Amino acid sequence: MKDCARIAVLSCLVNGFLMGGKYFLAQISGSIALRADAVHSLADVVSSLSILGGILISDRKTRTFPHGLYKVENLVSLVSSFLIFFAAYEIGKEAVHAGHAGVIRNVGPVVAGVIFMVILACLYSRYELKAGLKRGSPSLVADARHFAADMFSFLVLLLAILGTHLGFPLDRYAAIVVVALVAYMGLSILIGSLKVLLDATLDYPTLDGIRAVLASHPLVKGVTALGGRSSGRYKFVEANVKVDARLLRDAHSVVSHLEEDILDRWPDIDRILIHYEPEQKEFVFAAAAVDAAGEVPRELETPLSEHFGEAPGFVLLRKDVRNGRVVVETLIDNHSHNLERHRGVKTAELLAERGIDEVWTRVPLAGKGAGYALEALGIDVVVTEAKTLGDLLSEIAEDSGGLEVKLRE
């Protein structure tokens, strides 16, 4: 913001110098066009002062405007566009009438002075445009294009002065071209400001670049939504991604890494919000504590255990999300059930190693070490009143007719 304010102050000084120079040249030459353009430069000074004010207050945040007054710059740009339209009107009008302004005095010094101001306006316009684009400041970009419009007005003045001195009103024809170019500049600034004020989406190259960064992370399996808007010289971005992470802290780590990477690549992004959701799975893997060990039970009357950490074994189930079919895959022994301490935690770690998504149990685990361990490992706990394996399968299967029993190959 300090750099933008410094450039805006410099813009005020340059416009003030041009206004004074035009007025001085008008006095020694008797040119009505120069005198009128000096008045036009006075409007440029007012425009530069408004841009400076917009930059100074755009970053301020209040209770009423908690996200800042970033769009003040776009409002200033909108006003500047109308000033450019007014400048186009003045250039056209004064250029047409300059051919009838009479004799021009001190033609040599006046032409030299106008050429000097043309060079000054051209150099400063390029400097301010480059600085405005680098810092993402729409008001500085608008002011730089306003300077470019003044550069064309200087050319019109030269044609008007030389044409009047030689007796040829060439300024009328040059004015038509210049007015069209200036009006085009004003229209582009007007459209750009209105897009931001109406919350139009960010430009497609920026969105495509952000999408590429999101998709490049190995744990991101898809970008489901991406959007953004501009506010002043800043951008705001929101995205939805699918993350292949079992634990909440792992997904949060992925999102934090992506946010830092994007902010480093696009410094003009003020805020980015990434929503993450688990990847849609075709299968859900579940486990149920049973009072059995060894081979997979062939009888659906196998009783479910009244314990978790003390259960001798767990039946592993696979549920097809697409059709609700449940498959009994295998049974694993719980080698931690005889431990004196931390049975539940060790059992939870065993199930996590087997890629289990949810645990069905007859005993509530809330507030217990096993419950905290399963929560930290990203495994859901479902309490059931089913007493046998068959009752449990009937409860969790959407289509009991699709029930299968087989060993994992």
Backbone angles phi and psi of 74, in degrees to 5:
-70, -35
Backbone angles phi and psi of 135, in degrees to 5:
-95, 0
Q: For residue 244, what pLDDT band results from cuts at 50, 70 and 90?
A: confident
Q: For residue 405, what pLDDT band results from cuts at 50, 70 and 90?
A: very low
Question: Is 268's pLDDT higher than 60?
Answer: yes
CA distance 96 to 151: 17
Q: Are 122 and 151 in contact (CB under 8 A)?
A: yes
Q: Are 286 and 356 in contact (CB under 8 A)?
A: yes
Instruction: Give the tokens for residue 123.
Output: 């150099």
Q: 3-class SS at 309?
A: coil
CA distance 11 to 142: 12
pLDDT of residue 25: 85
Choice among 162-176, 234-248, 292-306 with the minimum mean pLDDT: 162-176
DSSP code, position 282: S
The region that residue 241 occupies, defined by phi over 0 for left and psi between -120 and 50 for alpha, beta otherwise, is beta
Higher pLDDT, 128 or 281: 128
241 half-sphere exposure, CB direction, 13 A CA radius:
26
DSSP code, position 406: -
For the segment 22-71, what is each residue's pLDDT rounded down to a tens digit? 888 878 877 766 766 665 666 666 666 666 666 666 556 666 666 666 67
Tell me the β-bridge partners of 190.
none
Beta strand pairing status for 380-383 and 220-231? Answer: unpaired
For the segment 188-205, what is each residue's pLDDT rounded down to a tens digit? 777 877 776 776 667 788
| R_g of the chain computed on alpha carbons | 37
Q: Which residues make Cβ contacts (< 8 Å) with residue 124, sequence separation at least 6?
A: 10, 11, 14, 147
Dihedral, CA of residue 215, residue 220, residue 223 and residue 226, to nearest 10 = -80
Residue whose entry in the numeric block shows the structure tokens 């009438």: 97
Angle, helices 138-166 vs 32-58, to 10°: value is 180
DSSP code, position 355: T
Question: Is 407's pLDDT higher than 60?
Answer: no
Mean pLDDT score, 67-81: 70
Q: 3-class SS at 178?
A: helix
Q: Are 258 and 214 in contact (CB under 8 A)?
A: yes
Average pLDDT of every residue of the chain? 76
Longest CA–CA separation in the chain, Å: 115
CA distance 39 to 321: 75
Q: Are 19 and 38 in contact (CB under 8 A)?
A: yes
* Domains of the chain by start residue, with CATH: 2-197 (1.20.1510.10), 204-278 (3.30.70.1350), 283-405 (3.30.420.130)
Mean pLDDT score, 113-124: 85
pLDDT of residue 114: 85
Q: From start to end of 173-278, where are the E strands?
A: 220-231, 234-243, 269-278
pLDDT of residue 379: 85
pLDDT of residue 70: 63
Instruction: Give the tokens for residue 67.
Output: 């996200």
Question: Is 180's pLDDT higher than 50?
Answer: yes
Q: Are 400 and 308 in contact (CB under 8 A)?
A: no
CA distance 133 to 146: 15
Question: Is 406's pLDDT higher than 50?
Answer: no
What percentage of the chain exceeds 90 in pLDDT? 1
Question: Is 362's pLDDT higher than 80?
Answer: yes
pLDDT of residue 51: 64
Nearest to 33 by CA among 210, 203, 153: 153
CA distance 221 to 279: 7
The region that residue 84 occupies, defined by phi over 0 for left and psi between -120 and 50 for alpha, beta otherwise, is alpha
